[in-house]
Each structure stands twice: as C-alpha cells, then as structure tokens.
Chains A and B, each alone.
Chain A
C-alpha cells in the first residue's frame, strides 16, 4: 500500500487572466506534521491554502485529504478546520455559539456539543469566556477562539492563513509557542501560511518556500536556511550576501572550492554538479563571515575591506563592508555585540567560513 498523506496536492494550476497564481504546485504533508507555506505577498501561498480549503478550485491538478480526492468538493464537505487571517468570528454569536455552530450542523446531541465546546475552550485556555461576543475579546483572545472553532469540529487537518499577523510582536511570539505546543500534543496536521520567515523557521517540521505561484523548495527549516535551493530562497530567508567567483575544480558530492575575485579560495556547498572553471555566484550568510585581526599573511579563505555602515541591533552588530576587490557589491557581516565595536572607515580582514553555490 502506498504511503498515505494527510494533505496531498498534485500538479495544481490556477490562472487569473495572464497570471499563474498556482504553477504546477505539488505538495505532500504527512500525518501530524506542521508545514509552513512561506513567501512574499502574491506568491500563491494564500491561493494554495484556499484551494485546500475548497474556496477555489484549481484549473487542473488534484487535491486529496487523507487519500480522499476533494478537488471538486465544496468546503462544507471537506472537514478541514480553517483559521482566517482576520479570525472571521461571527459578530452576532457568543463564543459558545461560535464553537458549537459546526457541531449543531452535525446534529450532535446537546450535551455532546457542550462537552466539546468546553474541551476546545480548554485547549486554547479560554474557559469562562463562553458568553462573550467577539467584540468583547482582545485580539489574542479572538485568535484563540478562531483556533478553537477549527479544533471543535475535530477536523482531519487544520489550515491557518497568517493567523498571527494581526497581533503585536510579544503576543505573536507567545502564541507561536502555544500553537506549536498544541499542535504537537494533539498530533493534528497543520498547514500554516505566513510571510514571516521567523515564524516559518521556528514552528515548522517542513517549510515550503513559494514565489510567483511556484514552489521553490520544500525542506526542513535548517535545510532551507543553510542549504537554500536557489537565490530566491537564500535571499528570502534571512539575509544573504552574493559574491561572484569561479570553480577551482569539479564540484562533487556537494563539495566545491570557489575562487573569489581577490584570489581567496573558499569551501562551498554545491547543490548540483558543476565543472571546473565555471563562473558561479556564492551565497554567504552574514554570520558565516568572521572578523579577523589584520595579520601578516592573508589566509586562503580571507577577504579585505573597509567598514561602512555600523548597525547596532542589541544582541548583534551588523557591519556593512565594502570589499577591496569588488567595491560595487558591499556585503553584510554579523557579529555578537560583546566584541569590540568597529567604526566606519576601519580596515578589516574577514574569514569566510561557509558558502553555498547559488543555482537559479
């Protein structure tokens, strides 16, 4: 028997006029997984979620939930919990009525409804707010009610559309942890849409990075950050420096040596096979650059430059550095802020400790 997935999209396409909002999107989510769809606005992430929820039908391709083809089923026949960005709580119902609505439709006995409403409220720690109207709740409480409504119907999967984006930073971080804990303890499959890379990296088992309706990479958070599949993924998750170079020898088994513009040779990860002499771009994260005190001999993996911007960020300091060999492409370097602070104009030497060859 083939492995069964809780959510499976195969070759979904959706076009609005001349724009491909979904361009051959295929995706598989295992049971109990927390998967995040990440990308800039207009990348197709919300369309993906709406297709899973049944609010739009793809022009072609198939969607199945736990092996059942739901491509052409309306939302109300799918049994998917949906958490909306603006929560979409019915303003004329109390919290208990909101949570019980889906259960009343399922014609459950009254006591069973009351029991399940209480249980859902307990899960999101809102016991005692049953008789409140949505407008009598804070933003965070409304978010929890929206979550509880999705949980109350005992759905096969839960999909969430940027559910934390309307909250302030502190609350967002708190709910992030809470949501993740809830998901893990219930073992429910969740698909979470966000444009916030921090959210995606900190919560997910798998991250799907999308751009222009296409999936750019699907991998666990460490892989998408440390082994981005292409330039877009590298630039979208965290910050990335791009440097031009040339392969010293054939790239094999993911390992390569790249000669940068000043002759420095750095070791780099190569996602695909390449031949010696090929021009490449390497991606270097700011924290993969380490400041070195000026010495006599320039080491093989070192660059030289001049400090430009100095940006103090509390736990870290970012330096904008103009490289001697390529002043046109300034780079960023990040250091913990307990080190000595450099000033604009200081000459520096930089160790490149990690790099990745970019593919487009």
Chain B
C-alpha cells in the first residue's frame, strides 16, 4: 500500500524540491551551487527582455497555437472515428494509439524527410508553382512538429466522449428544428467538453515543455524554454539559472491552465455541471 507513496516522494517530490533549491542557489563557475535562498535567477529571467521576448513569448505562442490547431484537427478526426460503426472504430483508434508509441525522435526524422528543402512538401509546392517556403528550422516547422505530436493526445479522449454521446440526443435536437450545424454546437460540442479539456491540457503541458521538437526541428533558431534550460545547464553549466527557467516554465503552465479552466467554466458553466 505504501510503496506508491514512497515511489512518488522519492522520485517526484525529492527531485522537485532539489530543483527548487538549486534555482535558489548561487552560481559560481567551477564550483557546485550553494543554497542561499536567492531569487536572482528568477529576477534575471523575468526582467530581461531577451528572455521574455524570445524564450517566454515563443514558448507561450507555440504551445498555445499548436494546442488550438491540434484540437481543431484532432476534433475532426475524433468525430469521424466516433461516428464509425464500433468494429471499424477500434481499428482506427488503435492506429492513433500506435502512433503514440513510436519514438518521438523517429517521428521527428519522419517529419524532417517530409518538410526539408527538396522534401515531399517542398517538391509539391514547387510543382504547384508556389513560392519557395522554408519550413524546417523555422517556427513554422516547430509548430507543425508540435501539432503532429499533440494530435493523438487530443484525439484519444475525444473519441471516448464523442462515442458516448447518445445519438438520440442529436436526433432530438433535429426533431425540434436544429440543423446539423446547430445540433453540433448546442448538443454534441458541450457534451464533448470533458474530452476537449482533457486532451488540450495534455497537449498544452506537453508542448509548453517541448524539448526534442524545438531542438531537432528548430535548428537552434527557435528558442523554447525547455531547450533554453537544457542549454543553460549543459553548455553554460549554470544549473541554478536552468532550474529557475524550468520552475518558471512549470508555474507558467499552471497559470495558463488555471486561466483556461476558469474561462471554460464561465463559458460552459451548465455543460460542466452536467458532465
């Protein structure tokens, strides 16, 4: 019974506490961090326009936009899958699950082949006479990568809630005069909100903390906070500042999540009550 608690304390709370302690330690090149309770690293991060404009803004922008895009694409996909007869739904759902189990680096290399100069997308655009667009090693490339990684996390919970919506509820809306569009917004969508919230929260927190995608697809030009913390720790050797960036990122995610839940609650108060 108490093994799980020990595990969580040992491998989650202890490292977290250690990280917080490190972020409040002094940094001397060549010597280990000494805990002094200083907030200088936080002050540096949160006041320097360089960090705010590049790392913070890029992180918020890319993680929010990628989550919204993943939600839109994922919703359409999940809706389609949920409408299928049960036996075919299983096959497509497992395909989504399988895509999750493919190693992220392998998926990124797949995207690389598709998006690089002279790759499939580039060739297709050229063939269609479109101007040359650079995708790899730009924000757009990172965004595509983030969306691609996030979609399965959005789709899976949505298939569950959408398939659970009683078809009679939609028919009832049609019977009193609602066309397909109104039926969707008045009935299907509010009832799918728990899935929307679950999927987008996972997608957003994953993408806010994204490391592999900006590293491998951003070519060092697209600076997200996870990557910046890594560079600070391994290249600069500044563990306290890296820790402060990491903790700041966590706080940022929590705040944005809280605002998101608050707005959802406000807008769809009754829907959540029923869910």
Q: Measuring CB to CB, which residues of chain A are less than 8 angstroms from any residue of chain B? A: 53-55, 74-76, 78-82, 84-86, 88-94, 97, 101-102, 105-106, 133, 135, 149-150, 152-153
What is the distance, in angstroms, from B182's C-beta to the closest C-beta of chain A? Answer: 6
Inter-chain contact A153/B274, CB cutoff 8 Å = no
Inter-chain contact B176/A101, CB cutoff 8 Å = yes
A149 and B171 alpha carbons, distance in the complex (Å) = 13
A152 and B175 alpha carbons, distance in the complex (Å) = 12
Q: Does B173 contact A (CB under 8 A)?
A: yes
A86-B166, A92-B271, A135-B274 known; A74 vs B174 contact (CB < 8 Å): yes
Binds A, one of B37-45, B57-65, B102-110, B184-192: B184-192
Q: Does B177 contact A (CB under 8 A)?
A: yes
B177 partner residues in chain A, CB cutoff 8 A: 76, 79, 102, 105-106, 153
A75-B174, A81-B175 known; A88 vs B169 contact (CB < 8 Å): yes
A-B contact pairs, 29 of them (CB 8 A): A54-B174, A74-B179, A75-B171, A75-B174, A75-B175, A76-B174, A76-B175, A76-B178, A80-B175, A82-B175, A84-B168, A85-B168, A86-B166, A88-B166, A90-B191, A91-B274, A92-B270, A92-B273, A92-B274, A93-B270, A94-B270, A102-B176, A102-B177, A102-B178, A105-B177, A105-B178, A133-B270, A133-B273, A133-B274
A78 and B177 alpha carbons, distance in the complex (Å) = 8
What is the distance, in angstroms, from B215's C-beta to the closest C-beta of chain A? Answer: 43
B175 partner residues in chain A, CB cutoff 8 A: 53, 75-76, 78, 80-82, 150
A82 and B174 alpha carbons, distance in the complex (Å) = 10
Q: Is the interface of A mostly helix, strand, loop or mixed?
A: loop
Q: Does B172 contact A (CB under 8 A)?
A: yes
- Cβ-neighbour of B179 out of A76, A94, A152 (below 8 A): A76
A86-B166, A86-B168, A105-B182 known; A92 vs B176 contact (CB < 8 Å): no
Inter-chain contact B166/A101, CB cutoff 8 Å = no
Can you name 16 extra interface pairs (CB under 8 A) apart from A74-B179, A81-B176, A88-B171?
A55-B171, A76-B174, A78-B175, A80-B175, A82-B175, A86-B168, A88-B172, A89-B172, A92-B190, A92-B191, A92-B271, A92-B273, A101-B173, A102-B178, A105-B177, A149-B172
Inter-chain contact B174/A101, CB cutoff 8 Å = no
B169 partner residues in chain A, CB cutoff 8 A: 88, 90
What is the distance, in angstroms, from A83's C-beta to the closest C-beta of chain B? Answer: 9
Inter-chain contact A149/B271, CB cutoff 8 Å = no
A74 and B186 alpha carbons, distance in the complex (Å) = 18
A76-B177, A91-B191, A102-B177 known; A82 vs B172 contact (CB < 8 Å): yes
A53 and B178 alpha carbons, distance in the complex (Å) = 13
Q: Interface size on B (CB < 8 Å)?
A: 23
What is the distance, in angstroms, from B275's C-beta to the closest C-beta of chain A? Answer: 7
A82 and B170 alpha carbons, distance in the complex (Å) = 12
Inter-chain contact A92/B275, CB cutoff 8 Å = yes
A79 partner residues in chain B, CB cutoff 8 A: 177
Closest partner residue, chain B, to A97 (CB atom)? B270
A53 and B174 alpha carbons, distance in the complex (Å) = 10
A74 and B174 alpha carbons, distance in the complex (Å) = 8
- Cβ-neighbour of B171 out of A81, A82, A105, A133 (below 8 A): A82
Closest partner residue, chain A, to B191 (CB atom)? A92
A92 and B171 alpha carbons, distance in the complex (Å) = 16
Residue with the highest number of chain B CB atoms closer than 10 Å, among A78, A82, A135? A82
A80 partner residues in chain B, CB cutoff 8 A: 175
B173 partner residues in chain A, CB cutoff 8 A: 90, 101
A210 and B178 alpha carbons, distance in the complex (Å) = 31
What is the distance, in angstroms, from B229's C-beta to the closest C-beta of chain A? Answer: 41
A91 partner residues in chain B, CB cutoff 8 A: 191, 274
Closest partner residue, chain B, to A78 (CB atom)? B175
A283 and B140 alpha carbons, distance in the complex (Å) = 81
A85 partner residues in chain B, CB cutoff 8 A: 168
Residue with the highest number of chain B CB atoms closer than 10 Å, among A75, A89, A101? A75
